[in-house]
Amino acid sequence: MPAIRYRSIRLLFIVLLIASCPAAAMVNPAAVYCQQLGYRYITESTPGGDFGYCVLPDGTKTDAWEFFAGSAGGKYGACTKAGYRQEVSSDPQFCPFSARCAVCIVPGGGPVPAAVLLNLSYEETSCGDSSCGVPENALSCPDDCRSGDWDNLCDGIRDSRCDPDCPEGAGDPDCGGLPTGLLSIVCLVVLAAAGAGICLVLRRKQ
């Protein structure tokens, strides 16, 4: 069994286990999904009741549950951000909290629920309970949230892990490119080589 599939099944089992526990207070999965991706979740009161919306980077206000399902705002969903193709699934094993949910088609690993890809927890958490959940992050609760994981925070800490919360890796020194110190050394070497080359040319002209 591919490693990604084993990890997906294991994480899905954990999520289902949490969901089956009556003592655990649950938060809105659609709100958690929206916020964990770094977007703003808002609620509006209408004659038909309160509705939740996810405000996407382009300013679009989309129904939070439709976004969670993958039927709206697809290019801003977890799958697309991770570089995978996204589909809408109504399979109960993938969507324990709603009739439909977004799943990512991972090459060689099959469909993976977007919530599992983000390692989302819908249980209300508090710092020190060994569970990184809303609203904790690596800075507010380092005991529960490891730097470089999905926690709705691009912390920019050098930890040898590219933080998925940093857009296209910007703001995290571990997301590709040369480390700042090494880059400085390379620049000095290049400048020294250029200077030596110029001196050599000038001597030959004398």
**74 located within any domain:** yes
Domain around 53: 3-124
Q: How far apart are the first and last CA of the chain?
A: 71
Q: Please answer whether residues 43 and 54 qualify as being in contact, where contact means their C-beta atoms are separated by less than 8 angstroms.
A: no
Residues in the chain: 206
| pLDDT band with cut points at 50, 70 and 90 for residue 76 | very high
pLDDT digits (tens, 9 = 90+) for 137-196: 777 778 877 887 766 677 778 888 887 767 667 777 888 754 444 444 554 555 566 655
Task: Report yes or no on 98 lying in a domain.
Answer: yes
Q: Which residue has the higher pLDDT, 79 or 156?
A: 79
Q: Confirm whether 165 is domain-assigned.
A: no
Regarding whether 183 and 115 lie in a shared domain, the answer is no
* Number of domains present in the structure of the chain: 2
Domain boundary among 124, 146, 165: 124
Q: Is 188 left (phi over 0), alpha (psi -120 to 50) or beta?
A: alpha
Where a domain ends, among 100, 124, 148?
Answer: 124
Residue 49 domain-assigned?
yes
Could you report the per-residue pLDDT of 96-124, keeping only the tens digit for each? 878 899 999 988 777 888 888 887 777 66
The residue ranking higher by pLDDT, 186 or 48, is 48
Please check whether residues 111 and 25 belong to one and the same domain: yes
Q: Residue 100, SS3?
A: coil
DSSP string, 140-158: T-TTTS-TTSSSS------
Say whether both 10 and 101 belong to one domain. yes
Task: Return all residues near 153 (Cβ < 8 A) that are at least 6 apart.
Answer: 137, 138, 139, 165
Tell which wins on pLDDT, 166 or 69. Answer: 69
Is 95 found in the same domain as 13?
A: yes
User: Are residues 31 and 108 located together in one domain of the fold?
Assistant: yes
Tokens of 39: 């977007």
Residue 120 lies in a domain: yes
Instruction: Please give the mean pLDDT across all residues of the chain.
Output: 74
Burial class (CB in 10 A: 0-12, 13-18, 19+), 17: exposed
Identify whether 21 is part of a domain: yes
In a domain, 189, yes or no: yes
Residue 164 lies in a domain: no
Q: Are residues 39 and 116 in the same domain?
A: yes
Look up the pTM and report it. 0.51
